[in-house]
Structure 1
Amino acid sequence: MSDKRVYLYDSTLRDGAQTQGVDFSATDKAAIAQSLDLLGIDYIEGGWPGANPTDDAFFGNPPTLHRAKLAAFGMTRRAGRSADNDPGLAPVVSSGADVITLVGKSWDFQCTVALGVDLDENLRMIGDSIRHATTKAKEVIYDAEHFFDGYKGNPDYALKCLKAAHDNGARWVVLCDTNGGTLPDEVERIVAAVTKVVPGSHVGIHCHNDTENAVANSLAAVRAGARQIQGTLNGLGERCGNANLISLIPSLVLKMGYETGLSASDMTRLTQVSRELDERLNRAPLRNAAYVGEAAFAHKGGLHVSAVEKDPKCYEHIAPELVGNHRKILVSDQAGRSNFVARFREIGLDIDPKDPRIAGMMDEVKQREFSGYSYDGAEASFELLARSYLGEVPEYYRLSSFRVIDERRWNARGDLITLSEATVKVSLRDATQMAVAEGNGPVNALDAALRKVLLPVYPELQDLKLVDYKVRILTPEAATAAVTRVLIESADRRGNTWTTVGVSGNVIDASYNALRDAIVYKLFRDGASV
């Protein structure tokens, strides 16, 4: 094994499933496992056979993996039982997985307080279980739970636990910072001491993020000689989460020069894999996530953008394409001419940087942002504003008026209900049309009424759907009379998404402004005929 080779062990499907609000189905687990396999992860921990029906279903019909080894997780035998006669261990070792990972105590305090077992019996539990598992699987891993706390309290005993596993056939002994309270300098010192007892080529690290140091601790362990890292996608995990493999991998490879099972081409899938997981969890990706977040390579300040235009290295630590991300130039009231020129280029606007219209556009954007608009999070509205300023956006329709009525009343069954009804009057191709629609709230009713008029003329709107709707109060001191900003995220069936913004002292008016931009942007991008 190359001294620079680090093996990656993903525990998203078990540790990640312990995240509050996360509940993977067996189908979810299979899909995530296949994505990890395609990425190039070395080990994929599928779960704990025998612990719950979902994990039993997953191991009963495991996904086909081509690059990764599937691991089944369990714990060492109970005190007073033999390893081959333990009902908790049996389904794990008979799971059919290539790898068996067994967790055991390595902190004397945990042995006596949590388990109530004799320290020598705990050593026998580790050794017996590992030895038994080696007869059932190709590879066995020992997760030394609470190792760092145990080492700090009783280093001799913590090391004996590792030796009991290693001497009985464990391929890896993994040092777990289970409580997540150890700091990087401590990890590096302790791992260095461990590698004098167990070769670093057999030592792994498993960190929790309770001090926001899980990634730093994992990298420190590698520097000290550990050659396996355990973690999860996007840092999922109990409490504050586990070490985030999505940020660990590029740091290992691009910053520290280590090798993993990922090729350069595999690395470009990191952003996609990260966002696929968030999509499966039905949650918005973290915008400022390292390496893969939308904001990771976003530039807003005019001074920054001017420098990035000359050489991205001025304000970017790596090329975003290496991890499948992209550079993003934001336009706001802090923007300079460089921001605008860069954004124009991104949206395909061919305009001379010295064109006097740019100055007018800059003034327009800054005035609008002073009024409450925010274009650094509403790129579609900015593009429409820019193209409209240059006379490139047709007038697809003209709204003459709209009216929205909300009625709260008791229905015939005695239930208290609220109904929303919208009426729109639209000028469309030299004719005025009116439509009425009900909806689940005033914005939905307004959208439904507009679609009644527009869809027969613009079938491109058929697959337009609202994905997210956010309202922010801009003048809280005005209480219920406050100015509001509405952001609408829209999508179509091809997976395209875009965000638009509206501002008004009336939340329905602000919502319409954002909704109008969403509709017009869709029509313009699809080349709809006027």
Structure 2
Amino acid sequence: MSRLTVYDTTLRDGSQREGISFSVSDKLKITQRLDDFGIDYIEGGWPGSNPKDIEYFRKVRQLDLKHSKISAFSSTRRAGIRVQDDLNIQALLAAETNVVTIFGKSWDFHVTDAIGTTLEENLAMISDTVAYFKEMGREVIYDAEHFFDGYRHNPEYAMATIKAAEEAGADMVVLCDTNGGMMPFALQQILQHVRSRITSKLGIHAHDDAGMAVSNSIIAAEMGFDQIQGTINGYGERCGNANLCTIIPNLQLKLSMLIVEPEQLEQLTCLSRYVAELANLSPQEQQPYVGENAFAHKGGIHVDAVLKHAHTYEHLQPELVGNSRRILVSELSGKSNVLYKAREHNIDLSKETPETKAVLDRIKEMEYQGYQFEGAEASFELLIWKALKVHQRLFELVGVRTFVEKIGDNGNILSEATVKVRVDNREYLTAGEGNGPVHALDEALRKALLQVYPEIRHFHLVDYKVRVLDGKDGTGAKVRVLIETRDERKKKSWGTVGVSPNLIEASWQALVDSVEYGLMNANKAKMKELRKAVKQFRMEG
């Protein structure tokens, strides 16, 4: 296996994505996780641009990093001044990192029209800055900004810029597709020419504006380039940077290049979701390798084949990258889907059992009405219990009422709900207030059941989604409500679903499933009794 280095710029380039603003604490936590994963270089930021990055470089020295090298980022010296007089250069030096990454202009158009200097002065800026940091004992990575666009407009000058960095002593010359528009076949020709002219180690830094960042990075790796730059989850400005969560497994599992140790690669999915969490972004479900749907199967024929031989519809084992297989249940499902999902919940059905077909028929009927169980596995499990006639109702609704009042254009909205439930022939009537009628319903239901089931105090509604199913019906359209609830004591979450033309009714259905499922799982005795009933059903069936 060959070995190339991976350079992560999530903390600098990745943070330029709209909506991302890492705190210093976030950056330090991500740094530690990247080091644990085995990333070779971590670009911490631009110390001359903001106080936050200065603080990061001061605090990162306190981390006990085992593998990663921290790099500070900045530009070449400004035109017309000495390196030692440039404040950005001195801020970079003050960061006290062993590695510095310097970017300079490769496109003559940028030299003359963007920074407003001569082509000769730009070459001197590159050479002076690289040489200065080499004299200071730093490892220098030179990022040739806009190299590919510059090469296409003026190949001689673009080559002269990276030659200046090489001759000044740069340890690595990185070719940047800054505008992200390069096609793989054109990029490959340029890489071949550079490789024939430059003896320094070479790297690539690709952006994804044409959707080619991963492909272009892999081509460079196959051609023997020494470094790949990118970000976790492809975060970055505009369309993002090259996605390391796709590049790393492709190189290691498809092209047999050793990037990280196998046990570290198994942490890739966890790393991807951890960074997404700190970035305050939802994980990308369709993302290759690490996405929640990367190994999800929905069609009945697919599932049946996967259960026999996983490689029929999977290009590799999901466990290699720390992901897992998911079997979805929907109107496209066959019996195999139901069997697989039932087994996940410790419910053993037989493919020939009439009840299995009844469950499948019921699922298809409910999804025709608008239900969706892909994000509501708790409702799916309750459905199976009911189909097997082993479900035990924990409470019965006697009545529910909601009240919403608004007085005047600028008045606050008051939402109240009353709920009456029956448990063991005893009725409980309570009221609740909330930010809206659904919140009030949730509060009232919990108050009523808390008197009988004290464990409900640990349940919290953490997500609530409403989807209009048929917009052409206007305000009379059906809505689907998905609720996610969490048991803070067990650190476990579950999803439930409700569908109705009435938003309150759909919400009530999802709430009832949520509370009932949570109570069943919180009560070990009831779960034991339930599984005993399922087992007895199997023996009799």
TM, length-normalised to structure 1: 0.96
Which residue in the other structure is 1:445 paired with?
440
- CA offset at residue 429 of structure 1? 2.9
Indicate yes or no: 2:513 matched with 1:517. yes
Amino acid at match of 2:152: K
Q: How does 1:254-273 map to 2 (within 5 A)?
A: 254-260=253-259, 262-273=260-271
Q: How does 1:61-72 map to 2 (within 5 A)?
A: 61-62=59-60, 63-72=63-72
Once the two structures are overlaid, the 10-residue window that deviates more, 43-52 or 449-458, is: 449-458
Amino acid at match of 1:488: I
Q: How far, CA to CA, are the matches of 1:145 and 1:8 in structure 2?
A: 18
Q: How far, CA to CA, are the matches of 1:210 and 1:26 in structure 2?
A: 29
Which residue in the other structure is 1:330 paired with?
328
Q: How does 1:493-508 map to 2 (within 5 A)?
A: 493=488, 494-508=490-504
- CA offset at residue 64 of structure 1? 3.3
- CA offset at residue 464 of structure 1? 1.8
Amino acid at match of 2:268: L
Indicate yes or no: 2:445 matched with 1:454. no
Q: How far, CA to CA, are the matches of 1:418 and 1:528 in structure 2?
A: 41
Residues 455, 522 of structure 2: 8 Å contact kept: yes
- CA offset at residue 142 of structure 1? 0.4
Indicate yes or no: 2:46 matched with 1:48. yes
Residues 185, 220 of structure 1: 8 Å contact kept: no
Once the two structures are overlaid, the 10-residue window that deviates more, 417-426 or 469-478, is: 469-478
Matched position secondary structure for 1:373: coil
- CA offset at residue 5 of structure 1? 0.8
Once the two structures are overlaid, the 10-residue window that deviates more, 480-489 or 69-78, is: 480-489
Which residue in the other structure is 1:198 paired with?
198
Residues 358, 387 of structure 2: 8 Å contact kept: no
Residues 189, 224 of structure 1: 8 Å contact kept: no
- CA offset at residue 460 of structure 1? 2.6
Matched position secondary structure for 2:443: helix
Amino acid at match of 1:92: L
Which residue in the other structure is 1:478 paired with?
473
Matched position secondary structure for 1:393: coil
Going from structure 1 to structure 2, the CA distance change for 1:371 and 1:86 (only over 3 Å counts) comes to same
Which residue in the other structure is 1:278 paired with?
276
Residues 93, 137 of structure 1: 8 Å contact kept: no
Matched position secondary structure for 1:96: coil
Matched position secondary structure for 2:74: strand
Amino-acid identity (%): 47
- CA offset at residue 205 of structure 1? 0.6
Which residue in the other structure is 1:153 paired with?
153
Q: How far, CA to CA, are the matches of 1:392 and 1:275 in structure 2?
A: 37
Q: Find 2:366's aligned residue among 357, 365, 368.
A: 368
Q: How far, CA to CA, are the matches of 2:136 and 2:501 in structure 1?
A: 69
Q: How far, CA to CA, are the matches of 2:456 and 2:33 in structure 1?
A: 33
Q: How far, CA to CA, are the matches of 2:416 and 2:267 in structure 1?
A: 45
Residues 96, 137 of structure 1: 8 Å contact kept: no
- CA offset at residue 105 of structure 1? 0.4
Q: How far, CA to CA, are the matches of 2:414 and 2:299 in structure 1?
A: 45
Q: How far, CA to CA, are the matches of 1:290 and 1:226 in structure 2?
A: 24
Once the two structures are overlaid, the 10-residue window that deviates more, 474-483 or 520-529, is: 520-529
- CA offset at residue 471 of structure 1? 1.0
- CA offset at residue 137 of structure 1? 4.5
Once the two structures are overlaid, the 10-residue window that deviates more, 202-211 or 490-499, is: 490-499
- CA offset at residue 519 of structure 1? 1.3
Deviations 1:451-487 (A, max 9, x none): 1112233233223222221111112222111111111
Amino acid at match of 1:431: R
Residues 393, 524 of structure 1: 8 Å contact kept: no
Amino acid at match of 1:244: N
In structure 2, runs of 5+ residues without a counterpart are 527-541
- CA offset at residue 161 of structure 1? 1.1
Deviations 1:269-307 (A, max 9, x none): 111111112222333211111111111111111111111
Amino acid at match of 1:117: T
- CA offset at residue 349 of structure 1? 0.9
Q: How far, CA to CA, are the matches of 2:515 and 2:445 in structure 1?
A: 10
Q: How far, CA to CA, are the matches of 2:478 and 2:107 in structure 1?
A: 57
Which residue in the other structure is 1:306 paired with?
304
Q: How far, CA to CA, are the matches of 2:99 and 2:309 in structure 1?
A: 47
Which residue in the other structure is 2:90 paired with?
90
Which residue in the other structure is 2:173 paired with?
173
Q: How far, CA to CA, are the matches of 2:447 and 2:137 in structure 1?
A: 63
Amino acid at match of 1:353: K
Root-mean-square deviation over aligned CA pairs: 1.5
Matched position secondary structure for 2:77: coil
Give 4+ residue runs of structure 1 displaced > 4 Å after superposition: none
Which residue in the other structure is 1:343 paired with?
341
Q: How does 1:20-419 map to 2 (within 5 A)?
A: 20-62=18-60, 63-199=63-199, 202-260=201-259, 262-410=260-408, 415-419=410-414
Deviations 1:282-334 (A, max 9, x none): 33211111111111111111111111111010000110000111101111111
Residues 288, 294 of structure 2: 8 Å contact kept: yes
Amino acid at match of 2:246: S
Once the two structures are overlaid, the 10-residue window that deviates more, 160-169 or 231-240, is: 160-169
- CA offset at residue 340 of structure 1? 1.1
Residues 26, 58 of structure 1: 8 Å contact kept: yes
Matched position secondary structure for 1:35: helix
Amino acid at match of 2:510: A
Deviations 1:346-368 (A, max 9, x none): 22111222111111111111111
- CA offset at residue 529 of structure 1? 5.6
Matched position secondary structure for 1:291: coil
Deviations 1:119-174 (A, max 9, x none): 11111111110111123354110000000001111112111111111221211111
Which residue in the other structure is 2:529 paired with?
none
Q: How far, CA to CA, are the matches of 1:418 and 1:285 in structure 2?
A: 34
Q: How far, CA to CA, are the matches of 1:161 and 1:238 in structure 2?
A: 25
Residues 192, 225 of structure 1: 8 Å contact kept: no
Q: How far, CA to CA, are the matches of 2:491 and 2:75 in structure 1?
A: 43
Q: How far, CA to CA, are the matches of 1:440 and 1:385 in structure 2?
A: 31
Residues 187, 217 of structure 1: 8 Å contact kept: yes
Going from structure 1 to structure 2, the CA distance change for 1:460 and 1:528 (only over 3 Å counts) comes to farther
Residues 20, 280 of structure 2: 8 Å contact kept: no
Which residue in the other structure is 1:526 paired with?
522
Once the two structures are overlaid, the 10-residue window that deviates more, 374-383 or 304-313, is: 374-383
Residues 46, 59 of structure 1: 8 Å contact kept: yes
Amino acid at match of 1:139: E
Q: How far, CA to CA, are the matches of 1:425 and 1:118 in structure 2?
A: 81
| Aligned pairs, number | 523
Q: How far, CA to CA, are the matches of 1:386 and 1:137 in structure 2?
A: 67
Q: How far, CA to CA, are the matches of 1:529 and 1:443 in structure 2?
A: 31
